[in-house]
Amino acid sequence: IVPVAGFSPQGAYGVQDSLRSGFTSVKNELLPSHPLELSEKNFQLNQDKMNFSTLRNIQGLHAPLKLQMEYRAARQVIQRLPFLQSSNLALDTLRNSDESIGFEDVLNDPAHSEVMGEPHMMVEYKLGLL
């Protein structure tokens, strides 16, 4: 589950990383957030959880296990380095989202993103070294 900002800060040992994220202040963390923000961040995860548990109830434990292994292969193994764009074709095919269009295909396309992350930092973050 993707955490809410402020409740589990990004530094090592769970302490706020002042160098990268600035000073903490309670007022900053009490900013109004959109009612949909949390539900949208976790939407895909929740859908997957629901589908896997239904699959487990119908077909037994082996079905979600095998599928999750394939998901993991598509997402982590056959994936590019974090700062490069990838089309996620394998993941889309597994999820059957290659045959439907939603707002995530139209809005905020990462291929047209205006900001770019620093490659070294992104790889370090992914590997957990940051």
Partner 1 sequence: MALSNIFETPTPGFNFDNTARNAALEGLFDRGKAPKAMKTGTTIAGVVFKDGVVLGADTRATSGEVVADKMCAKIHYISPNIYCCGAGTAADTEKTTDLLSSNLAIYSLNSGRNPRVIMAVNILQDMLYRYHGQIGANLILGGVDCTGNHLYTVGPYGSVNKVPYLSMGSGDLAALGILEDGFKPDLELEPAKELVRAAIKAGIMSDLGSGNNIDICVITKQGVDYIRPYQESQYKDIRKIKYKYRQGTTPVLTEKVVPLKLEVVQETVQKMETA
- Token pair of 28 as six digits: 């900053």
**Pattern of binders to partner 1 over 95-124, x per CB under 8 A?**
----xxxxxxxxxxxx--x-xxxxx-xx--
Q: Which is nearer to partner 1, 60 or 119 (CB)?
A: 119
96-to-5, 99, 100, 103 alpha-carbon distances in Å? 31, 6, 8, 16
Q: What is the C-alpha separation between 8 and 6, in angstroms, rounded? A: 6
- Min dist CB 62 to partner 1, Å, is 29
- Min dist CB 30 to partner 1, Å, is 10
Sole window of 29-37, 56-64, 68-76 interacting with partner 1 (rule: CB under 8 A):
29-37
128-to-1, 10, 12, 67, 125 alpha-carbon distances in Å? 17, 11, 10, 26, 5
Q: Which is nearer to partner 1, 62 or 118 (CB)?
A: 118
Q: Which is nearer to partner 1, 14 or 35 (CB)?
A: 35
Q: What is the C-alpha separation between 55 and 60, in angstroms, rounded? A: 7
- Min dist CB 41 to partner 1, Å, is 8
86 CB burial (10 A radius; 0-12, 13-18, 19+): middle
- Min dist CB 51 to partner 1, Å, is 14
Residue 130 binds to partner 1 (criterion: CB under 8 A): yes
Residue 58 binds to partner 1 (criterion: CB under 8 A): no
